[in-house]
Structure 1
Amino acid sequence: MGTRLHASDNKYYNEQDVDERDAQEKAIDDWLPITASRDAKWWYSAFHNVTAIVGAGVLGLPYAMAQLGWGPGVSVLVISWIITLYTLWQMVEMHEIVPGKRFDRYHELGQHAFGEKLGLYIVIPLQLIVEAGVDIVYMVTGGRCLHRFYTLVFKDCKKMKLTYFIMIFASVQFVLSHLPNFNAIYGVSLAAAVMSLSYSTIAWGASLNEGVRPDVQYDYKDTTIAGTFFNFFNSLGSVAFAYAGHNVVLEIQATMPSTPEKPSKGPMLKGVIAAYVAIAICYLPVALICYWIFGNKVEENIFMTLEKPVWLIAMANLFVVIHLSGGYQIYAMPVFDMIEYVLVKKRKFKPSWRLRIVSRNIYVAFTMFIGITFPFFDGLLGFFGGFAFASTTYFLPCIIWLAIYKPKKFSLSWFTNWICIVLGVILMTLAPIGGLREIIVHATKYKFYS
């Protein structure tokens, strides 16, 4: 039987052994959630991206506006929309930058740009912080919206702890987390995308219905200079949190078919553009109209501020819960892929449903526990948004682009990427300071598991 040379270690292997190994590798890839299916349509990209980006962040945008003010607030929203659309386009373009190869995961692109080890060390920690951070915030927000629904509809019933509602939301995630891959959750994601458009419309529509408050004020909420600055920094992180889809975009694109004649970037870009139109429709009216109506009296979650009509606000809170259920899964799927990749390929566990049940349940339980312990919605938005989201969304794609394409110094591409990098680094530096301060302020008044 013939033999062939294995280039990595200069040893001879039996062809049958190599073929068997290749077959095993393919079987594992077909089992892992990111690479299991590649028959998605462009509209899958659209509602996956809407679900990934429009989430808990939109609920905090009016509060961010109250801490930023009219001029800075509008500027930050619009500039963030432009920068993140640009960096998302870069990610889509780089998915198949090497002919015949697909970078199905964010860290694989990082490894191509920075080297096997360095790329892994740069991208994996940031991506895990982002994805686990989103899921923790979604746990808190889902629980709060369920709690709000309960208090609106069952006013005469016994009061219940927020902890119980976070656990109710988590129980849904324990079930949904066992859908095997991205394409298996397309129905959940579609429902989530529809819900995001629905509750965003309800948020600004109900605000208009209430009318501008007679005592509305647009001054900064905090009366001290230090507090105003810290709140300003925290709100930068909240806006960064609202534009977070980059952390799963390569994984979403990995589910699409691709050939040399019809690469995946074509349909993926159609989905991205459709998603960003929907994002603008959701974000700008909610941020601007709700701030105009309530001023600096707006709560950190807009649905905590709105009161009338009761049935509509209650329904909107349920819409948020449905959307966050889909959003949780969009961000959890790459984490499941990382966990299962390590267990199967590195630790040599056998791919099985038992492995998935144990590993995925542990992850959901972890995010539930952290969410119950630290349910500080706005502080979490600012801290996670600044520390990790600014990196992976605003400037890491630009650094990778410069490392791979090496555009001519002082060219338009060079200038554009460096402007994004500078703004992103400033955001990453300032926002976590405000978010951490917000968490500390809340923690001094908070009784754990209350």
Structure 2
Amino acid sequence: MAPQTSETEQVVDLNSWLPITASRKAKWWYSAFHNVTAMVGAGVLGLPFALSQLGWIPGIVAILGSWLITFYTLWQLVELHEAVPGKRFDRYPELGEHAFGPKLGYWIVMPQQTCVQVASTIVYSVTGGKSLKNYSMVAFIASTIRGSHHHPATYGVRSHTTAGQIFDVLNGIGTIAFAYAGHSVVLEIQATIPSTQKNTSKKPMWKGCVVAYIIVALCYLAVSISGFWAFGNVFAMPVFDMLESCLVQKLHFTPGRALRFAGRSTYVAITGFIALCIPFFGGLLGFFGGLVFASTSYFTPCIIWLVLKKPNRWSFHWIASWISIIIGVLIAVLAPIGGIRQIIISAKTYKFFS
């Protein structure tokens, strides 16, 4: 008779196979690299367009303001990763479960994180299919060279009507929010860093985050400013982790390469097909940036912080958290409106599967 395995041993064995917890050998520079790649992606290409919708000063203020708020909420997530001594919250939903309860917490965080990951995959596919180009430094250099030879005379906002300007502002803010999407994978990145009760993973993780955010600021400002000046007027890993965990735990598939290949290939095929159907790059950034990215990056970490840490009323963290929550909720409610309008406008000229 085969020896019985406890539920704890099964979880440990599964964690040694799942992509996020398979290895804990990362250093602080791994954190910096992964956080940069999580942030500086397709969203950066939409920043010049967002700046043209908002205008010079409001656009730069929105980019820097978002950088500041998400830098703070990033710190909160890094701190909360080991909020309980001897326990690690290696996945965003696990932290949600600890804050709001096993069932409620999971269903509050998991759908939001999944939407961020799926939306990122779709938008990245649209980006690759539409442009097959540049990234931040290439966009910066190309825009600067073009601007030197073909400098436009005016830098007014894109729309000429009051209603159009309002909708453009909402879409522009959503586009900027999309650019700060790394929070959905922060705990998963930190899960790869080793830790003990004496030497926690917070220090190397935060060191990497600081370096990453400095690089993010340079890339975002360089691309958005140079792009507007010149032209005028891995995200999927938590999804794979969740998908493979569900296939093994709920549907009782055997962990292995065949399961991993089939599951990931199916996911990529589905999101790629959706990307072919809806080539509305600018509208997608604004819509998804407001609808789900604002939540995972702007206000969900703050809500969890208030629930778990219970800072004193009118203390720095209480005020900072509530400011982030209010701004994040406003973005989540209003920005998708601008994104939908941009999609409707684009639909007049775009054809599906184009």
Percentage of pairs with the same residue: 56
CA contact (8 A) 1:216 1:294 kept: no
Q: What are the equivalent positions in structure 2 for 1:19-98 lying under 5 Å apart?
A: 20-98=6-84
Deviation at residue 21 of structure 1 after TM alignment: 4.3
Q: What are the equivalent positions in structure 2 for 1:384-395 lying under 5 Å apart?
A: 384-395=288-299
- 2:283 aligned with 1:283: no
Partner of 1:270: 207
Partner of 2:240: 336
**Unaligned residue ranges in structure 1 (runs of 5+):** 1-15, 150-195, 297-329
CA contact (8 A) 1:212 1:292 kept: no
User: 58, 80, 87: which is aligned to 1:101?
Assistant: 87
- Provide the rounded CA distance (Å) in 2 between the counterparts of 1:268 and 1:287: 28
Deviation at residue 355 of structure 1 after TM alignment: 1.3
CA contact (8 A) 2:299 2:329 kept: yes
- 2:197 aligned with 1:260: yes
Name the amino acid aligned to 2:177: A
Cα distance per residue 1:167-220 (max 9 Å; x no partner): xxxxxxxxxxxxxxxxxxxxxxxxxxxxx8xx4223222322221645432112
Deviation at residue 285 of structure 1 after TM alignment: 1.6
- Provide the rounded CA distance (Å) in 2 between the counterparts of 1:402 and 1:440: 39
Partner of 1:206: 142
- Provide the rounded CA distance (Å) in 2 between the counterparts of 1:440 and 1:433: 11
Partner of 1:186: none
- Provide the rounded CA distance (Å) in 2 between the counterparts of 1:412 and 1:253: 25
Name the amino acid aligned to 2:153: V
Deviation at residue 389 of structure 1 after TM alignment: 0.3
Deviation at residue 26 of structure 1 after TM alignment: 1.9
Name the amino acid aligned to 1:126: Q
Partner of 1:239: 176
Task: Return the TM-score normalized by structure 2.
Answer: 0.96
Cα distance per residue 1:128-164 (max 9 Å; x no partner): 1100000100001011223xx6xxxxxxxxxxxxxxx
Name the amino acid aligned to 1:430: L
Name the amino acid aligned to 2:137: T
Cα distance per residue 1:350-407 (max 9 Å; x no partner): 1122211211111000110010000110000000000000000011100000000001
Seen in structure 2, the aligned counterparts of structure 1 residues 21 and 81 have a Cα distance that, compared at 3 Å, is closer
Task: Return the TM-score normalized by structure 1.
Answer: 0.76
- Provide the rounded CA distance (Å) in 2 between the counterparts of 1:140 and 1:83: 28
CA contact (8 A) 1:394 1:421 kept: yes
- 2:320 aligned with 1:446: no
CA contact (8 A) 1:216 1:293 kept: no
Deviation at residue 51 of structure 1 after TM alignment: 0.4
Deviation at residue 127 of structure 1 after TM alignment: 0.6
Deviation at residue 41 of structure 1 after TM alignment: 1.2
Deviation at residue 93 of structure 1 after TM alignment: 0.3
RMSD over aligned Cα atoms: 1.5
Seen in structure 2, the aligned counterparts of structure 1 residues 144 and 25 have a Cα distance that, compared at 3 Å, is same
- Provide the rounded CA distance (Å) in 1 between the counterparts of 2:300 and 2:62: 19
